[in-house]
A and B are shown apart, each in its own frame.
Chain A
């Protein structure tokens, strides 16, 4: 049985162009019922049937967790990706029927925190939108520092500053505004937890800086969903079923397993949760490990692979599926 198989049939309620790069999608249950409650920071996996290709991409839920009438997500258009965001931007219209997974939270608030310090970059704002709604309903203490390219591309910055003027700080790249992280980290009260979501470089910078300033690892939380990347096609032998499959150029390894009828477990499909971890029986070639789950040692010894985001280059690969 795959984890992540609990699904919700939904209908697209509305599609709103937030700015040149971002569209917002609202989903309601097709049977008219209520959506499951969720916790701020949770994501849903959206199933996209694009012709003969099925893609499952995770997106953070940005709506108010208490609002059970609908789920909303915001999607940034990625021109060089494998096409999931382009499919949503170009093809999905109000009234379309789609399938979402139940919510999964890999970026939960630590509810012990006396204060929640949030650092967002670009579309990384979305999980914070739900967390802020949850915290403000509970009189929670938060502060958001949000880095954007330009005012025109600053998704939800206006709404946030209007609603929470003393909690929200916006930094515009085109005005050379930069988060003074060292200063920010030094001034925090005891019991503050730090959360960061944004581009890979930003997450690394925030986590390293906090570590260097003596922040305990338990008080630093980050979420980065990796989109699977395209790569050269490769063949894989499945030891249990004896099948040989080909992973296409724009297909993830996990998607190729699913297309071959293999019920492989997954939750996040972004290299974070560890659910799809797969044993390697033998290989002759080089792994392209891209996940956050395996340790560097595990990646080096070549006995495990996370097929949601990682690939392989070489002559032969046999896995335990």
Chain B
């Protein structure tokens, strides 16, 4: 089907809405009625036509709006996009990965013509046409990572691999769940995960790092992560906490269904071929609770998960203050009936 692109905002007047199509394909993250950390990685293979797991890089109705929001955030704070000098090669790897995948999987929207190193890229939704020489930085209007991630939904962290560790040495981060690239740049895997509660005790990160160091070219993996966000804000950054943090206090029993959103990240990991780095795309999907509960299984399950979540996690995910109100709202959609296994609607 042809995607009907929306022109909506993720700030101030918040005109963002999900269509019926977007609600049904929302990546609901809970496969059972409770939640605890795990290294829940699976191969990033095409799954379920129409789902967000079908394509290498999912494009949906929010594409144009999200790219406008990225440009707005970057204009206000250029440090959301950084690449240390040794990461340019990885940026080219990413250009190739995304352009090849989008041109192959969305031929009606994107086109890539290659004549040796002379490439011709056409992005129809954003009305971009660019001829450039692959691996020649001077032939693009900005660095290769910035160029392609201004045209791709989701945040991107590029991780250099050395000394049996991963180092966050480049990234484009404008739609993040309260973490800062400018703070994390140059950190290793343990350093940037240091604020996460409970997981260190469970040795989750040791196992995850060991797995990632052996991540193979041609065999990408994915997982879902989640948090809660008041208002459909893509940019919930520490830099702007003074602007969005206060909005948590605006939640009331009468508006929780409209204002409170479940925020889900589709995280994928790819080994990049030339640089041997790993790219970590973090794609954010938002859904307001009143839309989410239109899928009865999701309404029941989200109620049970949030009600029973350990306090440390509700604090870390930033909704401990409003948890009673959210759980109270969701309880009206939980009749106690059993739920089916897996994340998809019945």
By a CB distance below 8 angstroms, the chain B residues around A110 are 162
Which interface residue of A5, A102, A137, A218 has the most chain B CB atoms within 10 A?
A: A102
Neighbouring B residues of A39 by C-beta, 8 Å? 273-276
B252 within 8 A of A: no
Residues of chain B lying within 8 A (CB to CB) of residue A273 = 214
Report whether A36 and B273 are in contact in the complex, using a CB–CB cutoff of 8 Å: yes
Q: What separation, in Å, do the CA atoms of A8 and B16 have in the docked complex?
A: 45
Residues of B within 8 A of A37 (CB): 96, 273-274
Q: Which of B236-283 contact A (CB under 8 A)?
A: 273-276
Interface residues of B in 134-160 (CB under 8 A from A): 135, 160
Q: Size band of the B side of the interface?
A: 20 to 34
Is there a chain B Cβ closer than 8 Å to A138's Cβ?
Answer: yes
Binds A, one of B216-224, B226-234, B336-344: B216-224
Given the contacts A108-B162, A110-B162, A275 and B214 also touching, CB distance less than 8 Å: yes
Contacts of A111 in B (CB 8 A): 86-87, 89, 160, 275
Q: How many residues in A have their beta carbons less than 8 Å from beta carbons of B?
A: 28
Look across to chain B and name the residue whose beta carbon is closest to the beta carbon of A105: B276
Give every chain A residue within 8 A of B135 (Cβ-Cβ): 137
Determine whether the beta carbon of A6 is less than 8 Å from that of B162: no
> Is A248 part of the binding interface, using a Cβ–Cβ cutoff of 8 Å?
no
Please encode chain A, from 100 to 117, with 1 for each CB lying within 8 Å of some chain B CB and 0 for all others.
001111001011100000
From B117, which residue of chain A is reached at the shortest CB distance?
Answer: A66
A218 vs B163: C-alpha distance when bound (angstroms): 6
Which partner residue on chain B sits nearest A109 by CB separation? Answer: B276
Interface flag for B51 (CB, 8 Å): no
- A36 lies within 8 A of B217 (CB): yes
Confirm or deny: B161 has a beta carbon within 8 angstroms of a beta carbon on chain A. yes
Assembly CA distance A273 to B85 (angstroms) = 28
> Which of A1, A6, A38, A41 sits near B273, CB closer than 8 Å?
A38
Contact of B216 among A3, A65, A137, A138 (CB under 8 A): A3
Q: How far does the alpha carbon of A104 sit from the alpha carbon of B214 in the complex, in Å?
A: 9
Q: Which of A6, A112, A274 contacts B214 (CB 8 A)?
A: A274
Q: Is the CB of B214 within 8 A of A267?
A: yes
Smallest beta-carbon distance B1→chain A, Å = 29
Residues of B within 8 Å of A65, CB to CB, are 273-274
Which residues of A have CB within 8 Å of B275? 39, 111
Annotate B291-320 by CB proximity to A: 1 below 8 A, 0 otherwise.
000000000000000000000000000000
Asked whether A13 is an interface residue with its Cβ less than 8 Å from the other chain, the reply is: no
| Interchain CA distance A112-B167 in the complex, whole Å | 12
Q: Tell me whether A267 and B216 are in contact (CB under 8 A).
A: yes
Whether, in the assembled complex, A4 has its beta carbon less than 8 Å from a beta carbon of chain B, the answer is yes
Q: Would you call A1 and B43 a contact (CB within 8 A)?
A: yes
Bound together, the chains give a CA A267 to CA B344 distance in angstroms of: 34
Asked if B210 CB lies within 8 Å of chain A CBs, one says: yes
Q: Per a CB cutoff under 8 Å, which of A36, A42, A138, A218 touches B89?
A: A138
Quick one: CB contact mask for A5-23 with B, threshold 8 Å, 1 for yes?
1100000000000000000
The residues in A between 127 and 174 inclusive whose CB is less than 8 angstroms from any CB of B are 134, 137-138
A220 to B274, CA, bound (A): 21
Given that A36-B273, A37-B273, A38-B273 are contacting pairs, would A108 and B161 also be in contact in the complex, using a CB cutoff of 8 Å? yes
User: Complex: how many Å from CA A274 to CA B214?
Assistant: 9
Distance of A37 Cα from B94 Cα, bound (Å)? 13
Q: Which of A1, A102, A112, A274 contacts B218 (CB 8 A)?
A: A102
Contact check, B218 vs A3: say whether CB atoms are below 8 A apart.
Answer: no
* Among B87, B96, B163, B217, contact of A38 (Cβ-Cβ < 8 Å): B217
A102 to B217, CA, bound (A): 7
CB-based nearest B residue for A112:
B86
How many Å lie between the Cα of A137 and that of B117 in the bound state? 13
Q: How far is the CB of B135 from chain A (nearest CB, A)?
A: 8
Find residues 75-120 in chain A having any chain B CB closer than 8 Å to their own CB: 102-105, 108, 110-112
Q: How far is the CA of A56 from the CA of B163 in the complex (A)?
A: 27
Residues on B with C-beta less than 8 A from A41 are 276
Please give, as numbers and ranges, the residues of chain A lying within 8 Å of B89 by CB-CB distance. 111, 138
A165 CA / B217 CA spacing, docked (Å)? 34
Could you tell me the distance in whole angstroms from the C-beta of B115 to the nearest C-beta in chain A?
A: 14
Q: How far is the CB of A240 from chain B (nearest CB, A)?
A: 19
Q: Given contacts A3-B219, A110-B162, A111-B87, could you give 7 more A-B pairs where the C-beta distance is less than 8 Å? A: A1-B43, A3-B216, A37-B274, A39-B275, A104-B216, A134-B274, A273-B214
Between A and B, 23 residue pairs with Cβ closer than 8 Å are: A1-B43, A6-B219, A36-B273, A37-B96, A37-B274, A38-B273, A38-B274, A39-B275, A41-B276, A65-B274, A102-B216, A102-B218, A103-B273, A104-B216, A108-B161, A108-B276, A110-B162, A111-B160, A111-B275, A137-B135, A267-B216, A273-B214, A274-B210
Q: Please list the residues of chain A having a beta carbon within 8 angstroms of any beta carbon in chain B.
A: 1, 3-6, 36-39, 41-42, 65, 102-105, 108, 110-112, 134, 137-138, 218, 267, 273-275
| 4 closest A-B pairs by CB | A37-B273, A111-B86, A108-B276, A112-B86
